[in-house]
Amino acid sequence: MASPLLNRAPCLVCLRRITQVNSASVAPFFRQVRKKSGRPKDAGVIVRLLVDMKGFGKSGAIFRTERGRMRNKWYPTKKAEFMTAARLKELGLTKNDVGERDPMFGMQVEFGEELVEDAVEAVAGLPKGAIALNAGARQPALEPPSHTPAVEIEHIAPNRALELLTIMIPETITFERHLKNLPPIVGAGNTPKPAPSEEAEQPKVLSPLERRRAKMLEAQKPPEPEKSPEVAEAERQAKEEELGRERKRAEEDAERSREIHGSVSVRDVAGFIKDKMLLDPEASRIHVRPEDITFLGLAEGVDKVEKVGRFDIEIRTHVGRDRVEPVRKSVEVVAT
């Protein structure tokens, strides 16, 4: 016998559940996706102002502006005109003549005369209304009040300045610099070996027979012809020239060995002197400029040295309106 459950018809709720499509599974197919437009951004329209406009420019200015502003505001009120290609050609202009708007046009703040007078009176320390009272005489009262004390600068006596320069500046000012051409370092383990050609030849020990043969050959050798005075003088001059060239090369090598990286200029010396003078309150009022320092023994106009050694300098300076006697010191450049 068949079961009564198998012959029972399904209800409508079950049929709807079976036939209904899941909305979540098809949602991605109905979702709207936006993308960027491929059209370029509108750069606006070229216009020419017919009147002065605050924040944009004066009459006749040509620039780009938004289409809506021109279409809805400026063109109906005849404040600007469109600059088409035909209009540009008519005015003898090109697109290169198109400028930019002037956002600061008409934004300048104008001060009234009263504000200017108040500012001048405040800076000069005058009572309020002093300029207005003197306006008829055309002589503004710009003099400071009588109670303002005058500033006085105390000057140093020339003799005292000379004494301070002599005491505060050392006799020898030393600067350290690196050499350009460093000498070769010779140590215990890296002593250079002489070349084979430069090695001293060891004297050869001759046997008695070889000594007699050498004497016989020496006796048979014809005597050398006596040189004429002209030839002897020429040889002597050649030797002297060779010695002179060797001495010159030695002097040039010595000068090259003294060359330094950079230089020591009068500006360096002035900076050193300034640092020394600042150590004393009284001496700090003496100002030594680079123009007041001169290297002695160098060509005129040379204000620096580029080699190691000891050099004399002369310091001339002013104290107040009096000129102090020159002070002579030495500058020593040493290699590091």
Residue 167's alpha-carbon distances to 19, 157, 164, 283, in angstroms, are 114, 15, 5, 10
The whole-number pLDDT of residue 232 equals: 83
CA 211: distance to chain centroid?
Answer: 80
Q: Are 68 and 174 in a shared domain?
A: no
Q: Which residues contact 142 (CB under 8 A, 6 or more apart)?
A: 120, 124, 126
Domain count, the chain: 2
Say how far apart CA 84 and CA 67 lie, in whole Å.
13
- Is the residue at 55 inside a domain? yes
**What CATH number is associated with residue 60?**
3.40.5.10
Phi, psi of 53 (to 5 degrees): -125, 125
Q: Taken in order 11, 13, 16, 22, is the CA torsion positive or negative?
A: negative
The whole-number pLDDT of residue 47 equals: 94
Q: Are 173 and 274 in a shared domain?
A: yes
Say how far apart CA 180 and CA 261 lie, in whole Å.
6
**What CATH number is associated with residue 264?**
3.10.430
- Is the residue at 186 inside a domain? no
- Is the residue at 149 inside a domain? no
Which among 192, 28, 266, 46 has a CA at the least distance from the CA of 274? 266
Q: Which residues contact 169 (CB under 8 A, 6 or more apart)?
A: 273, 276, 315, 327, 329
Does the reported pTM lie above 0.85?
A: no
pLDDT in tens, the chain (336 residues): 455 555 566 677 777 776 665 555 555 555 666 666 666 777 889 999 999 999 899 999 999 999 999 999 999 999 999 999 999 889 888 888 888 888 888 875 444 555 556 666 665 666 666 666 565 544 444 444 444 443 334 567 888 888 888 899 999 999 999 988 776 665 545 555 555 544 556 667 888 888 888 888 888 877 777 778 888 888 889 999 999 899 988 888 888 888 888 899 999 999 999 999 899 888 888 888 899 899 998 888 889 999 999 999 999 877 655 677 789 999 999 988
- Is the residue at 318 inside a domain? yes
- Is the residue at 19 inside a domain? no
The whole-number pLDDT of residue 228 equals: 81
Tokens coding 197: 């050609």
Say how far apart CA 283 and CA 165 lie, in whole Å.
8
The whole-number pLDDT of residue 111 equals: 46
Tokens coding 298: 């160098």
* Rg for the chain, CA atoms, rounded: 51
Domain boundary among 94, 109, 124: 109
Enclosing domain of residue 320? 158-178+259-335
The whole-number pLDDT of residue 73 equals: 92
Q: Are 46 and 173 in a shared domain?
A: no
Say how far apart CA 61 and CA 101 lie, in whole Å.
8
- Is the residue at 320 inside a domain? yes
- The continuous run of DSSP H or E covering 322 comes out as strand 322-323
Q: Are 167 and 291 in a shared domain?
A: yes
